[in-house]
Amino acid sequence: MAAGQAGASWRPVAPPAILGGQCTTDNQCSTVTPNAVCRDNRCACISPLTSYMNLACIHASGVGSLCYNDAQCRAVNTYSFCRFLVSQVVGTCACDPDQFIDIHGRCAPRLGGRCKRGTCSRKLGVASCQRGRESILKCFCRKKAVQRRGVCVLR
């Protein structure tokens, strides 16, 4: 049956959508941006890629690697940022000030640094991730431990 004849089914074509824009199908996103999909009715980059100014999906960057925005660094290390070498153009990923670089090249919390459960490094001694005054999880010394030279030791 030819298009337009009685009984032919017609479905509207969803318009293309940019990163961050509303969508109902993956095709709406990938038509405009390669490596983008429709997630929760919004166009987003497929993991582990991250959005660059809602224009392109780019690879995430680890500490010391080239970056164009904070999201690119945070896709690998939650507590990191893009330290710009050329203002707002290009930089390298660095750990937030309350973090240090662990032996695996990832950002890990210092004592008093923001953390997620189970992420306080063994280098901190008997520290654990606990809720602080601001209701934010931070690495603190456990009960019956004191801080000495940035490490928690039992009394």
Main-chain phi, psi angles of 15, to 5 degrees: -70, 150
pLDDT of residue 150: 82
* pLDDT of 146 over the 50 cut: yes
| pTM tops 0.75, yes or no | no
First to last CA, the chain: 85
